[in-house]
Amino acid sequence: AADAVSSDSLTVMGGGLVGSLLALYLARRGYSVDVFERRADLRRAGAEEGRSINLALSDRGWKALEGVGIGEEVRQVAIPMYRRVMHDQQGQLTFQPYGKENQAIYSVSRAGLNQKLLDLAEANPQIRLHFNQQCTHVDLRERRLKLRDVTTNTEQTRTFQRLFAADGAFSAVRAAMQKTDRYEYSQSFLEYGYKELNIEPGPDGQWQMEKNALHIWPRGQYMMIALPNLDGSFNCTLFFPYEGENSFAALQTDEQVLAFFQKVFPDVVPLLPDLATEFFQNPTGSLVTIRCYPWAFADEVVLLGDASHAIVPFYGQGMNAGFEDCSVLDSLIEEYHNDWHAVFAAFQQRRKPDADAIADLAIYNFEEMRDRVADPRFLLQKKIESKISAQYPDQWMPLYSQVTFSHMPYAQALANGKRQESIMGRLMQHIQTEADYDLPEVQQLVQQEMNQ
């Protein structure tokens, strides 16, 4: 029999990053919240292996965390990364700051952040967390859902009033929405997979490379990155084609892996003592972009986070965008005085163009990271851009900063970025060195562009 639920009780599906933060926001508005999570309580079970274990958190994410009062606490365990450090095939380094002085993106532990959010949720008397509960079916018309207890393999049916789906890229709630008439849905996989590898701490728990940086080994058709952890280790992620000359398919033995790394990433090989073992033991993850619409079903269901917009990880914005969903939804609850029909409608209208924009930007940034950051002309262009930005701070914010260090809607950032790229294309024809920026004819051109 279906459980009776009080009319002001809200149901959140998924207790991952977005679901646990969302529960805190809803509870602050006075609602009673039930969160259902398929996995075991990760505070007891330990972090799952093989998943990306650190993430880059930036301004949009911080704002959402501050909205529930945990910004400062998370900052204590976050590592600021002020610049990209590019490693070339000879181990030579070049550098590119992310923003202005003191602007940084932050490396945080995925499991640590999720645990903190769950701790807060558990301490809140209005929130009830239910682990090992997998949603297997949603009946939209009857407002009923099925939950399978994964430990006992038993199933229960529950009714719900309002369902917030934060159950990730392969959302079960979205699967029910996809069966409704004229539902728009697409999923697209890159021909690249990712593999996580681990750089151990140095002898005294020291970082074996620059700590406050995001490291990149750009190699044209593929790349590796590394983000620091608090214990002195780094998580490396290799983004690599599934097939082809240099690909997962081409590396089948320990010797092949070692020889390949020795050839293309020589400076990192001594830091990866378990390279071949990890390479074959750790799973290869796939990279998907998911777009869908609508995100809401009447005043009954809404999708958030990866459930509505899974993106590839190259802008470091997936979680940040999901967290921003929570702050936007919260502001709309305020604006529409808890009229859920209006809140859900406004939410999807507001956020869909932004989700599409960040999905496009994330794919664009993949090309930039794996290929263009190794190009001296590109790095020169970035330097010129920061000069323009310093000279015209009110008129020019680099695209990366608009996405990462601002709260401007992503769609607006993308439109500005396209405009700026065409301006840079025109200017760079007159620039060969950094000093050329000060040439009178270049200054005149810049001024003209600014006055357009």
Task: Closer to ligand FAD by CB, 17 or 85: give it.
Answer: 17
Query: Which residues on adjacent β-strands are paired with residue 106?
Result: 57, 80
CB 113 within 8 A of CB 324: no
| Residue pointed to by tokens 């229960």 | 156
Q: Which residue's CB is nearer to ligand FAD, number 63 or number 383?
A: 63
Residue 247 Cβ vs ligand FAD, minimum distance, rounded to whole Å: 18
- Smallest gap from Cβ 71 to ligand FAD, in A, equals 15
The distance of closest approach from Cβ of residue 430 to ligand FAD in the complex, given in angstroms and rounded to an integer, is 36
Between 109 and 317, CB nearer to ligand FAD = 317
For the sheet with 54-57, list strands across it.
54-57, 105-109, 79-81
Based on CB atoms, which residue is closest to ligand FAD, 64 or 86? 64
Least distance CB 52 / ligand FAD (angstroms):
4
Tell me the closest approach of the beta carbon of residue 419 to ligand FAD, in angstroms.
Answer: 25
* Shortest Å distance, C-beta 328 to ligand FAD: 14
Identify which of residues 309 and 431 has a Cβ nearer to ligand FAD in the complex: 309
Nearest approach in angstroms of CB 27 to ligand FAD is: 17
Which CB atom, from 165 or from 388, has the smaller least distance to ligand FAD? 165
Binding site for ligand FAD (CB under 6 A): 13-19, 36-39, 52, 55-56, 134-135, 166-168, 172, 194, 237, 285, 305-307, 313, 316-320, 322
- Name which of 18 and 199 has its Cβ closer to ligand FAD: 18
